[in-house]
Amino acid sequence: MHEFDGLKEECGLFGIWGHPEASELTYMAMHSLQHRGQQGAGMVSSSGEYLFGARGMGLLTEALSKDQLDSLKPFPHAIGHTRYASSGGSELSNVQPFLFKSHTGDLGLAHNGNLVNAMNLRRALEDQGSIFQTTSDSEVFAHLLRREKGAGEEGLEKRKNRIKKTLKQLKGAFAFMIMHEDSLTVALDDHGVRPLMLGKKDGSHCVASETCAFTAIGADYIRDIEAGELITITDDGIDFDYYTDQTYPNMCSMEYIYFARADSEFRNISTYRIRKELGRALAEEMDVEADIVIGVPDSSLAAAKGFSEAIGIPQEQGLLKNRYVGRTFTEPGQEARERAVRMKLSPVRDIIEGKRLIVIDDSIVRGTTSRFIVKALKQAGAAEVHMGVSSPPLKNPCYYGIDVSTHAEIIASRKSRDEIRDEIGADSLTYLSVDRMHDVYHQFGSKGQCDACFTGNYPIDIEEAILPQEKDLKQKGV
């Protein structure tokens, strides 16, 4: 439960080529990916000759009006994007897919991830005379692609080579959907940090950030797209290729732990099962006497279930989540934050009263939500509250597309486990170990997981992405 705790969503992608209901399916798929970004949404459709776009701020239902959707309805190819916007760039112009028009043809672009060398590429492009439309790192790709022998008619093969050359200039995490009037190209970076899935609906190929999008539209889930893959879908079929032969699979660990929907699958395994197993693994490492196990809704219920099964103590719904969006009158500050959490989470008193509780949460970022949860449960009469976290201590920012807080805000980068336990007021605090986490992932067929936020071992060099002041702090050891 990170709504007040500093871990933000990333983006959701969906695309489909050659289906009479392409736009409606895309819209339904985006709805199922809404948990991956609520600040904006957009679609770009191709008629086969031209691209057409629509986008807006807010949740899908606000972002795209019925009129906008109707205008895209006739077209058989579509891509959609749900976006989380970091504070600095919450403008309509940054909402994707981007749609670039030129006399040589249109380009639609949607990106999940983050390019670590975007700033340097952008400066170089500006110095060569480019004018940027947005503050987004994703736009860099469009400029590089246009300059890569940009002009004139070209065959699909020539275009693929151009895209390959452009992708090789990028450093960072990316799942790209690149739409031309006659093709949909998708690419995953050489570390495969962000998820991208291949599916099929009524004979038409589709791609999505998560398989829950396939379930939503009744599509078949074919397979996970791999690090370095470059797939081109046209009216003539699907072409599988790689833009590079040097790949280093390093899928984001937090996708399993927190981001993905419980019914989304990776390598045919549901996140629900992976989370249950993380809970089981935690149970082996946490030695505590208790009466009941409580999962923090919704993302930690599966881990709590696994924990409960492993330890043989019943799981109860001791915390309820209010499904409605609220707000307080109170001026910003500690009091307002507490009221906000209280409006979101409620303890079920007569379940809790007098009981020793194990509370399972999937992760702790700033610690504010955990502190409230412990306080609320104790006020409701809990005898003891033991906190179990089904992931290792989160200590480092992510530079690959997740907007975690800076070092200064991440509690585990500043404090020891005991200090955190005291700060949140729990009777004990246990994290899952990094090794056991990797065990679980290997058990479910992972080829390699990024654990930088836990260990600080960044698989892609982040030097270019760090802001000067952050560097200073780092050198000073903050």
Q: Tell me which residues are annotated as active site.
A: 11
| Binding segment toward a copy of itself, per CB under 8 A, in 54-62, 169-177, 245-253, 408-416 | 54-62
Nearer to a copy of itself, 57 or 434 (CB): 57
CB 174 within 8 A of CB 189: yes
C-alpha neighbours within 13 Å on the C-beta side of residue 392 = 19
Q: Please, which of residues 360-399 interact with a copy of itself by CB under 8 A? A: none
Q: What are phi and psi of 179, to 5 degrees?
A: -105, 125
Binding residue for a copy of itself, selected from 47, 65, 330, 457, defined by CB under 8 A: 330
DSSP 288-337: ---SEEEEPTTTTHHHHHHHHHHHT--B---EEE--S----SSPSSHHHH
C-alpha neighbours within 13 Å on the C-beta side of residue 223 = 6
Binding mask 284-303 for a copy of itself (x = CB under 8 A): --------------x--xx-
Q: What are phi and psi of 234, to 5 degrees?
A: -135, 180
Q: Please, which of residues 57-116 interact with a copy of itself by CB under 8 A? A: 59-61, 69-70, 73, 93, 100-104
The least distance separating a copy of itself from the CB of residue 161, rounded to whole angstroms, comes to: 17
The least distance separating a copy of itself from the CB of residue 21, rounded to whole angstroms, comes to: 8
Nearer to a copy of itself, 31 or 83 (CB): 31
Q: Please, which of residues 132-151 interact with a copy of itself by CB under 8 A? A: 132-133, 135, 142-143, 146-147, 150-151
Say how far apart CA 166 and CA 161 lie, in whole Å: 9
Distances (CA, A) of 407 to 39, 271, 393: 24, 28, 13
The least distance separating a copy of itself from the CB of residue 412, rounded to whole angstroms, comes to: 28
Binding mask 23-42 for a copy of itself (x = CB under 8 A): xx--xx--xx-xx--x----
Nearer to a copy of itself, 220 or 236 (CB): 220
What angle (nearest 5°) sits at the alpha carbon of residue 256, between those of residues 426 and 6? 50
Q: Please, which of residues 219-278 interact with a copy of itself by CB under 8 A? A: 261-263, 265, 268-270, 272-273
Size of the site for a copy of itself (CB under 8 A): 79
Determine the angle formed by the axes of helices 417-424 and 368-379, rounding to 10 degrees.
Answer: 50
Question: 204 pairs with which residues across the strands?
Answer: 201
CB 228 within 8 A of CB 216: no
Binding residue for a copy of itself, selected from 314, 332, 354, 468, defined by CB under 8 A: 314
Binding residue for a copy of itself, selected from 158, 349, 414, 471, defined by CB under 8 A: 349
Nearer to a copy of itself, 137 or 190 (CB): 137
Structure tokens at 211: 């398989």
The least distance separating a copy of itself from the CB of residue 434, rounded to whole angstroms, comes to: 26
